């Protein structure tokens, strides 16, 4: 990936995507990079559209919004449909295959990972689907070291260290065993 890397985490309210974006940006800063994070969500408390954008660069960041995403995380079919056109040709698409049942119709490296299903079945809580996604994104992009993303998650949720460590590791492992990639 180039000097400026643009990531968009998208789905619906209540999935923790804004928190995931904040954590990823903090981890990038802790790894010695420049990072900005922005967010947008609908007026609903849960269920409305939600997105977090993270820009990471070794140099100055002159514009804090995603123009063409290097990576798109789609945690709902609505988010995929809405943002797929903003993904760079040949970019990375991470789809929650437990919530999106369609075949991607874009030129991208596709990771179909059942993020929500893994959170429920392997961790026992869907609330950590965002952390599973962070583990997967960290493994795919290698923008921040595993130890630094762990530290950022643990700092954000100090009382749920073991739960989140398990969720992160499941995300990492999901990428290595991804059969549909």
Across the chain, which has 181 residues, the per-10-residue mean pLDDT values are 85 90 97 93 61 95 93 95 94 96 90 96 96 98 97 96 96 83 57
- Name which of 81, 75, 119 is nearest 94 in CA terms: 75
pLDDT of residue 181: 57
pLDDT of residue 74: 96
The reported pTM is: 0.92
Distance (Å, whole) CA 48 – CA 43: 7
pLDDT of residue 118: 97
For 93-125, b where at least 16 C-beta lie within 10 A, e where not — what string? bbbbbbbbeeeeeeebebbbbbbbbbbbebbee
pLDDT of residue 2: 47
- Name which of 22, 2, 5 is nearest 56 in CA terms: 5
pLDDT of residue 48: 64
Distance (Å, whole) CA 36 – CA 21: 9
Domains of the chain and CATH, by start: 4-176 (3.40.920.10)
Helix (H, G, I), strand (E, B) or coil at 113: strand
Which residues contact residue 128 at a Cβ distance below 8 angstroms, ignoring those fewer than 6 apart?
Answer: 119, 163, 164, 167
pLDDT of residue 1: 40
Tokens, residue 65: 């919004």
């Amino acid at each position: 990936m180039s000097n400026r890397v643009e990531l968009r985490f998208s789905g619906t309210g209540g999935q923790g995507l804004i928190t995931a974006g904040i954590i990823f940006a903090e981890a990038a800063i802790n790894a010695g990079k420049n990072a900005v994070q922005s967010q947008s969500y609908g007026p609903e408390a849960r269920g409305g559209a939600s997105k977090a954008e993270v820009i990471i660069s070794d140099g100055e960041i002159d514009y804090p919004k995603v123009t063409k995403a290097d990576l798109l995380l789609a945690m709902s079919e609505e988010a995929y449909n809405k943002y797929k056109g903003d993904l760079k040709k040949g970019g990375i698409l991470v789809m929650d295959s437990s919530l999106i049942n369609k075949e991607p119709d874009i030129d991208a490296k596709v990771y179909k990972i059942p993020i929500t299903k893994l959170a429920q079945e392997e961790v026992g809580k869907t609330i950590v689907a965002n952390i599973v996604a962070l583990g997967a994104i960290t493994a795919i992009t290698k923008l921040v070291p595993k130890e630094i993303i762990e530290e950022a998650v643990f700092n954000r949720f100090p009382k749920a260290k073991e739960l989140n460590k398990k969720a992160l590791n499941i995300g990492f492992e999901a990428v290595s065993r991804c059969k549909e990639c």
